[in-house]
Structure 1
Amino acid sequence: MLKSWRRRCRRKTGGMPELTIPSHFLCPISLHLMKDPVTLSTGTTYDRHSIETWIEAGNRTCPVTSQVLRDLEPIPNHAIRKNIQEWCVENGSRGIERIPTPRIPITSTEVSEMLVRVSEASDESRCREFVAKIKQSAKESDRNKRCFVANGSTKVLSAAFAAFSNADETVTVLAEILSAMITLTPVLDEETSSNLSSEHPLQKLVWFLRFGSLSARRNAVLALRSILSFDQFKFEIVVKIEGMVEALIRLINEPICPTTTKASLLSIYYLLKPTENSKGIAITLTEMGLVEKLLEMAVDSDRSVCEKALGVLDRMCSHGEVRERARGNALMIPLLVKKVLRVSGMATEFSVSILLKIVRGDEGEEERAAAAVEALQAGAFQKLLLVLQIGSDEVSKEKVTELLKVMNGYRNRIECVDSLDFKHLRRPF
């Protein structure tokens, strides 16, 4: 703002003096014109963004005076803000724009009052009205959002979601509550997830996954990911809900956004946790073509999606039916070998784990031998030796060592080292 004015002045007059901002209009931290001046308990005034960043970093003293802050809640300094606005208007002809009047941040007391209204609302329309106000206020600033989260808003909203999920015709208010929760925080905490982990709320979440709008499907899968991330919840309830697996596959095949794709992959990963139901889920996913889709995603996706795709594939390959399907895919073994040391440490761990399951499975000797030879042809032996040299955790090191032992028994069937690798070495004869 000031720089553009100075450039115009230099072009027009060639020597007009620079505009000097009054020192008490400048934030002591950023040294910029304050847009939302607030005063601390020490009496020093700062720009709100600068001082809140300071406090959120864990500091409990005044940056200027070094005094310990008795109260961490800054007070708006309306007098300074009005003086700054008047100064901006007076210098409007010189290229200074008037700073807008900032919205007053929400307080903990106001948040508590809004949450009480939500928890006491028995009528769907009234509850939806209060929840809409919470969401609107949270969207105004990150500070408001943090204030809502700090005062347990997601727990109250999840309890309201659970209460209204027992009725049939409550889709509108449930969608509003779900949207508000995800607006406040995409990753729900344990208590919030616990409120949503009973049968009726989960059924409503799956309904949104199957029949909801794009935003509702996105919010539902983010909530489901958080619920499934906690081990103490009963996966049996989730897997028995009709259409849930199909809905997650649809979000992968018809992606809404990268966040939704990652949440869907993580949800499937949690569902495949070794239990008595995991084999049936893995076979169902395989029949729906997920193995091929995961390989496709691992080829050209970013690191995060690639890691999650390989993680899901690793858990699926714990079952013989899936390994048989995986071996039949020509892309499987070359892709896994390529991902070793190419994407990330996690991708390497998953790739090694999958390769080990394929070459050491309980299938016939002929199938395992063919997989091992194919991996050797793709250069797996050299890469695995390099993994050991670079270093890894003990679990990964054990898997790499075991995989090398298995492959070593088939090295006589193929020349696994390309002679071209040594073409630049000087021969001693």
Structure 2
Amino acid sequence: MTPLLLLSALSAFLTIWQKMGRQELFITVPSLFRCPISMEVMRSPVSLCTGVTYDRSSIQHWLESGHDTCPATMQVLPSKHLVPNLTLHRLINLWLLEHHSSQSSPKPSTQQIQVYIEKFDDENSEVDLRDYLAKIVDFAKVRNQNRRFLADFDGFVEVIVGVLCKRAEMEVLELIIRILDLLISQHGVKERVHSLIFRSNYQNFFPSICFVLRNGSLSSKRESARILESLAHDAESKRRILEQEDLLSMLLHLVSSDNDPDLHDAVLSCLIAVSRSRSAKAELVRFGVVLVLSERLLDPNTKLSIAEKCLKLLSIASTCAEGRSAISENPKCAAALVGGLMKAGTEDAVAVLWGMCCVHGDRKVRDVVIKCNGVTKILLVMQSDCEGNVRSMCGELVKVLRDGCKSGGGLGLGRYETKTAHIMPC
């Protein structure tokens, strides 16, 4: 079955489906009523100790899968007790009664869809293809059941990945990227895409993604980065991504050049996902990740969540010799790490400084930390509500840095003792 044939059939099906239940299909659901995990209207809303409310079935599945964090905030949960949100439950029930949303929208059978497929040939124009893809995007955006339907539709994922690998028109590529982004979290989809891109006839998958990252809209760039992150779920897929030199350089360029926080967030999450192996870290360092992250951290306009991911990626880079060398040779990096103390990613910042100064005895980093008033900030971290291992690393750092002050002719030592006497560790 050709891509145009399947897309034509789906377009016909969507048109009929929308006519059958158009009013229910396009009802706007208040965001407060949607579960942050399933994105569906909550049937039994319950709240965690973080104050975030989820549908009971979704959050129970999350917790029973071994997670100990709040999915929305990623805070570690001191308690997994679920408290029913009765007020929200009543509001949702009233809204459901008003909009009759408890009734399922009609869905044709697979046999009906096959009838639509058989009525179409592959002589449609390029304009028609874009129109079909746009309709499918609209359909997939509405609700999770629609996305599940498309993911389960025999051959659909394979067809759109095939089109992505063969088409060069930006509008078509962006629409397919949007569809993939909507479907990639559905059960089994990322595994199917992963399997497809290893075939020889799908070798243009990564060049197409790179083309969108370079020339696409901000939204399509974010979606491309999220797709790459989802695909980086095993060593082989991470290796394949890292083999694409244009792809890595483009991702780093987006972090350094664009000013869209959501794009930075998606790209950094992608880089963190692919950078766990020894070779991956070395490749990222070769492409200048240390300098890019340092400049982003030193930018006063960088959001806290972005800074945290920058520090996480720097922490990963510092675990290889190339990364440590780059950090040592770049004074901006040590200054950025000191700036991250007590602000964002404290544990990662402390870990990198501890590794550089205490484990590897890097004098260049030590001297920069001293000049940036790092001892005072490290002492403040020790007095905060930090983990035991962080406090231990801080203690060792203070000793090494103060020894550095003494060996450097007392540079700054009196100033530190005067200004930090009230927060000295016991």
TM-score between both structures, scaled by the size of structure 1: 0.61
* Residue 349 of structure 1: aligned partner: 347
Equivalent residue runs for 1:66-85 within 5 Å: none
Matched residue SS, 1:300: coil
Matched residue SS, 2:136: helix
* Residue 178 of structure 2: aligned partner: 179
* Residue 88 of structure 1: aligned partner: none
Equivalent of residue 369 in structure 1, options 351, 354, 363: 363
Equivalent residue runs for 1:154-173 within 5 Å: 154=151, 158-167=157-166, 173=172
> Shift in Å at residue 273 of structure 1?
1.4
> Shift in Å at residue 272 of structure 1?
2.2
Distance change in 2, residues 1:253/1:391 (3 Å): closer
Structure number with bigger Rg: 1
Matched-pair contact (CA < 8 Å) for 1:222–1:263: yes
User: What amino acid is the match of 1:380?
Assistant: G
Matched residue SS, 2:143: helix
Matched-pair contact (CA < 8 Å) for 1:193–1:226: yes
Unaligned segments of structure 2, at least 5 residues = 1-22, 35-40, 46-54, 58-85, 90-95
Distance change in 2, residues 1:115/1:355 (3 Å): farther
User: What amino acid is the match of 2:225?
Assistant: V
Matched residue SS, 2:278: coil
| Paired residues, number | 332
User: What amino acid is the match of 1:261?
Assistant: H
User: What amino acid is the match of 1:354?
Assistant: V
Query: What do the CA deviations read for 1:73-98 (whole angstroms, capped 9, x no partner)?
Result: 97966xxxxxxxxxxxxxxxxxxxxx
Matched-pair contact (CA < 8 Å) for 1:291–1:326: no
Equivalent residue runs for 1:41-56 within 5 Å: 55=43
Matched residue SS, 2:288: helix
> Shift in Å at residue 220 of structure 1?
1.5
* Residue 153 of structure 1: aligned partner: 150
Matched residue SS, 1:331: helix
Matched-pair contact (CA < 8 Å) for 2:209–2:224: yes
User: What amino acid is the match of 1:351?
Assistant: A
Matched residue SS, 2:279: coil
Matched-pair contact (CA < 8 Å) for 1:188–1:223: no
Q: Is 1:305 paired with 2:295?
A: no
* Residue 324 of structure 2: aligned partner: 323
Q: Is 1:210 paired with 2:208?
A: no
Matched residue SS, 1:109: coil
* Residue 243 of structure 1: aligned partner: 246
Q: Is 1:380 paired with 2:384?
A: no
Distance change in 2, residues 1:223/1:108 (3 Å): farther
* Residue 263 of structure 1: aligned partner: 266
CA distance in 2, matches of 1:402, 1:423: 18
CA distance in 2, matches of 1:117, 1:205: 34
> Shift in Å at residue 252 of structure 1?
1.9
Q: Is 1:193 paired with 2:190?
A: yes
Query: What do the CA deviations read for 1:231-257 (whole angstroms, capped 9, x no partner)?
Result: 455211111124101211232233263
> Shift in Å at residue 133 of structure 1?
1.9
> Shift in Å at residue 138 of structure 1?
4.8
CA distance in 1, matches of 2:359, 2:112: 57
> Shift in Å at residue 117 of structure 1?
9.1
Query: What do the CA deviations read for 1:320-340 (whole angstroms, capped 9, x no partner)?
Result: 444344334443333322321
* Residue 7 of structure 1: aligned partner: none
Distance change in 2, residues 1:390/1:163 (3 Å): same
* Residue 400 of structure 1: aligned partner: 394
Query: What do the CA deviations read for 1:168-213 (whole angstroms, capped 9, x no partner)?
Result: 567654432222343x47x735633223333433343223223445
> Shift in Å at residue 307 of structure 1?
0.9
Distance change in 2, residues 1:178/1:54 (3 Å): closer
Matched-pair contact (CA < 8 Å) for 1:316–1:322: yes
Distance change in 2, residues 1:148/1:251 (3 Å): same
* Residue 11 of structure 1: aligned partner: none
Matched residue SS, 1:273: coil
* Residue 275 of structure 1: aligned partner: 278
> Shift in Å at residue 409 of structure 1?
3.8
Query: What do the CA deviations read for 1:359-400 (whole angstroms, capped 9, x no partner)?
Result: 2465xx6xx234324423433334334433434335534543
> Shift in Å at residue 353 of structure 1?
1.7
User: What amino acid is the match of 2:250?
Assistant: A
Matched-pair contact (CA < 8 Å) for 1:323–1:358: yes
CA distance in 2, matches of 1:222, 1:48: 25
Equivalent of residue 136 in structure 1, options 135, 138, 145: 138
> Shift in Å at residue 112 of structure 1?
7.2
Which protein is richer in helix relative to its size?
2
CA distance in 1, matches of 2:224, 2:117: 21
User: What amino acid is the match of 1:371?
Assistant: V
Query: What do the CA deviations read for 1:129-175 (whole angstroms, capped 9, x no partner)?
Result: 54322322455xxxx323323x2535656433333345456765443
CA distance in 1, matches of 2:289, 2:258: 19
Query: What do the CA deviations read for 1:6-57 (whole angstroms, capped 9, x no partner)?
Result: xxxxxxxxxxxxxxxxxxxxxxxxxxxxxxx99xxxxxxxx98699856262
Distance change in 2, residues 1:278/1:374 (3 Å): closer
Matched-pair contact (CA < 8 Å) for 1:291–1:313: yes
Matched-pair contact (CA < 8 Å) for 1:114–1:130: no
Distance change in 2, residues 1:56/1:285 (3 Å): farther
Higher relative contact order (CA 8 A, sep 6+): 2
> Shift in Å at residue 262 of structure 1?
1.3
Matched-pair contact (CA < 8 Å) for 2:347–2:390: yes
